[in-house]
A and B are shown apart, each in its own frame.
Chain A
């Protein structure tokens, strides 16, 4: 069973994304705390794409598909912007973020800490980021 949504590249679409995840059947097996964290991780990746790869251009869109396979919840995020491979992104030191009075940089830390696996591929202008969470049924 698959569950998917297309959102347009504006930050106001993030609440729509959260609503979609809240109602995703696959998420219902998780605890409230896990749901919140996974929603956060998926949102962080999408917010990054909206702001940095698409400069909040509402004409662009992002596709999210949620799948379940062999004890794994898979969140597949596709876009056609400038490829941003978060696996290549060096996680900043928290003390450095504080010292530099930076507002950004925390989202990717959250994604890497919350998710069990992250995959990224870019082919024919389409970027695919897969966030994977293991669960025990």
Chain B
């Protein structure tokens, strides 16, 4: 079960993910990011505080947009991942390709 809440703050679009992301629902994140890019967003911030689990299907969605973010000058950040979820990002080395912060404050002040 995954819930995505979309809010705006300081010209950033925050996608708050709640629950578990797997191959059955990762398309929801894909569509949410696609829409924000289509709407011309220049700053997309993922709030991972309530993200309990993410499989490669969800991680792959983030990966597939990294080039688009660079090409379109979209700032992309993730914050608030639990230790367990952050560990999965690290196993793949994604923490070296994405801007990941411990807290919302750290993400917005960077």
Which residues of A pack against B, CB within 8 Å? 10-12, 14-15, 18, 32-33, 36-37, 39-40, 43-44, 47, 50-51, 94, 97-99, 101-107, 109-110, 113-114
> Is the CB of B68 closer than 8 A to any CB of chain A?
yes
A51 vs B57: C-alpha distance in the bound complex, in angstroms? 11
Question: With A18-B20, A51-B23, A98-B97 in contact, do A110 and B92 touch (Cβ < 8 Å)?
Answer: yes
Answer yes or no: B53 CB below 8 A from chain A CBs: yes
With beta carbons under 8 angstroms apart, the residue of A47, A98, A109, A114 that contacts B67 is A98
CB-contacts of B41-82 with A (<8 A):
53, 55-57, 59-61, 63-68
Point out the residues of chain A lying under 8 angstroms from B30, CB to CB: 103
Chain B residues near A102 (CB-CB < 8 A): 60, 63-64
From A18, A47, A106, give the contact of B59 (CB < 8 A): A106
Binding site for A on B (CB under 8 A): 1, 20, 22-24, 30, 53, 55-57, 59-61, 63-68, 83-85, 87-88, 91-94, 97
A30 to B59, CA, bound (A): 24
A15 to B1, CA, bound (A): 8
Whether A101 contacts B67 in the complex (CB less than 8 A), given A32-B84, A33-B87, comes out as yes
Among residues of B, the one whose C-beta sits closest to the C-beta of A35 is: B84
A7 CB, nearest partner CB in chain B, Å: 12
Task: List chain B residues, Cβ under 8 A from A103.
Answer: 30, 57, 60-61, 63-64
A36 to B91, CA, bound (A): 12
List of A residues within 8 angstroms of B88 by Cβ: 36-37, 40, 110
Q: Are the CB atoms of B23 and A104 closer together than 8 Å?
A: no
Q: Which residues of A contact B91 (CB under 8 A)?
A: 37, 110, 113-114
Q: Give which listed residue, A10, A43, A94, contacts B55 with CB less than 8 A.
A: A43
Report whether A94 and B93 are in contact in the complex, using a CB–CB cutoff of 8 Å.
Answer: yes
Which chain A residues border B64 with CB–CB below 8 Å? Answer: 101-103
Within 8 Å CB of B56, what residues of A? 44, 47, 104, 106-107, 109-110
Known pairs A14-B23, A98-B67, A106-B60 / 12 extra A-B pairs, C-beta < 8 Å:
A10-B24, A37-B87, A39-B53, A43-B22, A47-B23, A47-B57, A94-B63, A98-B66, A102-B60, A109-B92, A110-B88, A114-B91
